[in-house]
């Protein structure tokens, strides 16, 4: 009977340990490839994009969409394009390149931009829509637009411009010389300015509660990381919409976030937002 037993080729019976190691290595390589070239997970920690994106939204960002293809096969394999006005963007924070920020691109290189009494004008045209939120009464939270000229945008005494916006200096506007962050003075009134080549202007949709290009200058296009394409999970930090997300600073914080999420998964998850596409 033994003569009729089919013998397996040499090397097939490698053992459970080797099999598992090969699977684990392949999974690690696949994850590294995905995070490097395809997509990456980000979490919204603040209210600067509320209500387009909420604190605790977990995003997957398309990392290759704004990349510049080096070979023809890249453009065929990965659909790439240039950033456009209105795109939600993930980018390296100019004041700290180790941090990632999420804002909306409102102006491109060469565009003329101006903010007058909270109204945004690009190339002398008013830019507004349902994506633009303003706070009329703090207890009511952000209110969505559009905000036509003459609309009540909660202005009592608009902040006066404090001299010349510092980032007009070409040397300061350079990718590695963004200058100092402004605490106030240009939130409600700015410009007119012209966006330099190689840069874009980003603003948060929650215009009254967003530290963006009005405060720290232009965003170098080379610092773009991608575009969010899905909210794969939305979680109410602290059980409400106003508690800032915890940014892990080590393995202990990651573990605590995991435990917290597991405890309140069913009650604090925003089921209506999970699986939505941010626009």
d(CA 114, CA 126): 9
State what percent of residues in the chain have pLDDT above 90.
33
Residues spanned by the domain of 193: 43-268
Question: Cα 67 to chain center, whole Å?
Answer: 16
Residue from 236, 237, 245 nearest 270 by CA: 236
What pLDDT digit, counting tens, does each position of 54-95 carry? Answer: 999 999 888 878 877 667 766 677 677 889 999 999 998 887
d(CA 249, CA 240): 23
Residue 10 placed within a domain: no
Q: What is the pLDDT of residue 175?
A: 44
How many domains does the chain divide into? 1
Residue 274 placed within a domain: no
Residue from 105, 58, 37 nearest 235 by CA: 58
Q: What is the pLDDT of residue 176?
A: 45
Residue 139 placed within a domain: yes
Residue 278 placed within a domain: no
Report phi then psi at 146, rounded to 5: -75, 160
Residue 12 placed within a domain: no
> Is the pLDDT reported for residue 248 higher than 90?
no
> Is the pLDDT reported for residue 179 higher than 90?
no
Residue from 141, 138, 202, 189 nearest 163 by CA: 189
Residue 38 placed within a domain: no
Q: Where are the alpha helices (DSSP H) in the chain?
A: 16-33, 72-77, 170-173, 213-216, 251-263, 265-268
d(CA 224, CA 63): 9
Question: What is the rounded average pLDDT of the residues 261-270?
Answer: 89
Report phi then psi at 113, rounded to 5: -125, 140
> Contact at 8 Å (CB) between 145 and 134?
yes
Residue from 150, 108, 146, 155 nearest 127 by CA: 146
Q: What is the pLDDT of residue 257?
A: 79
d(CA 277, CA 59): 9
| Domain CATH number, residue 63 | 2.10.109.10
Strand ranges (DSSP E) for 125-255? 125-126, 133-135, 142-144, 190-194, 199-203, 219-220, 224-234
Q: What is the pLDDT of residue 33?
A: 45
The phi-psi region of residue 191 (left if phi > 0; otherwise alpha if psi is between -120 and 50; otherwise beta) is: left
d(CA 80, CA 235): 31
**Please, what is the average pLDDT of the chain?**
80
Residue 153 placed within a domain: yes
Exposure pattern of 217-236 as b/e (b: 16+ CB <10 Å)?
Answer: bbbbbebbbbbbebbebbbb
Residue 15 placed within a domain: no
């Amino acid at each position: 009977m033994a003569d009729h037993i089919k013998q397996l080729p040499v090397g097939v019976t490698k053992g459970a340990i080797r099999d598992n190691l090969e699977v684990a290595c392949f999974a690690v390589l696949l994850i590294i490839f995905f995070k490097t070239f395809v997509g990456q997970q980000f979490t919204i920690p603040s209210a600067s994009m509320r209500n387009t994106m909420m604190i605790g939204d977990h995003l997957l960002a398309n990392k290759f969409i704004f990349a510049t293809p080096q070979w023809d096969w890249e453009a065929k394999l990965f659909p790439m394009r240039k950033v456009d006005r209105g795109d939600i963007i993930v980018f390296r924070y100019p004041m700290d390149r180790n941090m990632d920020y999420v804002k909306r691109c409102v102006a491109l290189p060469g565009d003329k931009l101006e903010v007058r009494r909270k109204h945004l004008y690009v190339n002398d045209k008013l830019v507004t829509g349902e994506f633009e939120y303003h706070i009329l009464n703090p207890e009511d939270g952000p209110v969505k637009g559009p905000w036509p000229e003459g609309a009540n945008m909660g202005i009592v005494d608009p902040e006066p411009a404090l001299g010349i916006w510092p980032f007009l200096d070409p040397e300061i506007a350079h990718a590695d010389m963004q200058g100092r962050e402004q605490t106030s003075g240009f939130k409600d009134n700015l410009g007119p300015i012209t966006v330099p080549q190689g840069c874009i202007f980003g603003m948060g949709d929650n215009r009254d509660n967003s530290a963006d290009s009005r405060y720290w200058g232009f965003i170098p296009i080379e610092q773009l990381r991608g575009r969010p394409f899905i909210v794969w999970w939305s979680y109410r930090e602290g059980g409400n919409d106003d508690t800032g997300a915890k940014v892990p600073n080590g393995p202990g914080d990651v573990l605590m976030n995991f435990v917290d999420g597991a405890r309140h998964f069913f009650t604090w998850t925003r089921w209506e937002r999970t699986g939505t596409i941010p626009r």
